[in-house]
């Protein structure tokens, strides 16, 4: 009977009885197989004693045994059924949390995806207007003609400081040209003013132009020489 109870109470559901009826049937079969026989009954039934009155005690014992054995079997069967039912319920309750614990719940977390950043604005090109001031320089007014100073080209004209027209004329016997009030060829001076004793003698190349200036303008020797040298770009007088 231990093997039947051990199978009913095993923790592995696969090793237990599938139904309570199977458990009760196995338990009843085991109890019936293990019940001991009554040898006295067999002997009495087969060997009656002659000349004696029938003994009623064995009959009562047999009847008591016949009543007690089924009663005991019924009680054991009921107890085994109750125990098996309790074990089945407990096993089911034990398996239910295990099954629930083994259930994996998958939680899908929605990931919020940030929108892409806006495209950068196109590069700004700064257009710089460069204003160029063009300064128009008026041509310099021609310098006043200095009588006796060098000039070019031949036969050109210019005004003196006093506004008189001067002509670029040729020096007689030379290829040089000087400003003169006479057009064409410069006439030779007719008068030679006396030299100032404080002045140095005139160089030969300056004598004709200075004398022409003195005769045509009435200036002194020093004044004419100074103006002529300034106009020709020569060093000033000491």
- What does the pLDDT read at residue 97? 53
The larger pLDDT score, comparing residue 219 to residue 51, is at 219
| Minimum mean pLDDT range among 25-29, 70-74, 124-128, 221-225 | 124-128
pLDDT tens digits, residue range 16-36? 777 777 878 887 777 776 555
DSSP the chain: -HHHHHHHH-S-GGGS-SSHHHHHHHHHHHHHHHSPP-HHHHHHHH-PPTTSPPPSHHHHHHHHHHHHHHHHHHHHHHHHHHHHHHHHHHHHHHHHHHHHHHPPPP--PPPPPPPPPPPPPPPPPPP-PPPP----PPPPPPPPP-TTSB--STT-EEE-TTS-EEEEEEPTTSS-EEEESSSSBPPPPS--PPPPTTSPPPPHHHHHHHHHHHHHH---HHHHHHHHHHHHTPPPP-
Residue 44 lies in a domain: no
- What does the pLDDT read at residue 50? 44
pLDDT tens digits, residue range 172-211? 998 899 999 999 999 999 877 777 778 888 888 999 999 9
- What does the pLDDT read at residue 211? 94
Residue 138 lies in a domain: no
pLDDT tens digits, residue range 56-80? 555 555 666 566 666 667 767 777 7
In the DSSP assignment, the letter for residue 198 is T
> Are 95 and 23 in the same domain?
yes
Residue 136 lies in a domain: no
Number of domains in the chain: 2
Domain finish residue from 68, 99, 130: 99
Residue 129 lies in a domain: no
Residue 119 lies in a domain: no
Residue 94 lies in a domain: yes
> Are 13 and 94 in the same domain?
yes
- What does the pLDDT read at residue 179? 98
> Are 81 and 6 in the same domain?
yes
> Are 93 and 23 in the same domain?
yes
pTM score, whole prediction: 0.42
Domain span holding position 94: 2-36+60-99
Domain finish residue from 70, 99, 128: 99
> Are 27 and 93 in the same domain?
yes
Residue 141 lies in a domain: no
């Amino acid at each position: 009977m231990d093997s039947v109870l051990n199978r009913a109470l095993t923790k592995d559901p696969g090793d237990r009885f599938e139904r309570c009826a199977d458990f009760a049937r196995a338990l009843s079969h085991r109890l019936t197989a293990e019940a001991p026989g009554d040898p006295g009954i067999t002997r009495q039934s087969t060997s009656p004693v002659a000349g004696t009155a029938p003994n009623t005690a064995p009959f009562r014992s047999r009847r008591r045994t016949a009543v007690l054995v089924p009663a005991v079997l019924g009680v054991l069967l009921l107890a085994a059924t109750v125990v098996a039912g309790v074990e089945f319920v407990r096993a089911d309750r034990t398996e239910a949390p295990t099954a629930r614990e083994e259930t994996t719940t998958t939680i899908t977390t929605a990931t919020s995806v940030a929108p892409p950043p806006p495209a950068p604005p196109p590069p700004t090109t700064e257009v710089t207007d460069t204003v160029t001031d063009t300064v128009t320089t008026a041509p310099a007014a021609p310098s006043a003609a200095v009588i006796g100073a060098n000039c070019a080209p031949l036969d050109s004209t210019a005004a003196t400081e006093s506004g008189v027209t001067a002509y670029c004329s040729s020096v007689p016997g030379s290829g040089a040209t000087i400003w003169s009030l006479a057009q064409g060829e410069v006439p030779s001076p007719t008068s030679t003013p006396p030299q100032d004793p404080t002045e140095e003698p005139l160089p030969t190349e300056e004598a004709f132009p200075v004398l022409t200036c003195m005769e045509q303008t009435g200036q002194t020797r020093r004044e004419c020489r100074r103006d002529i040298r300034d106009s020709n770009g020569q060093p000033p007088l000491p």
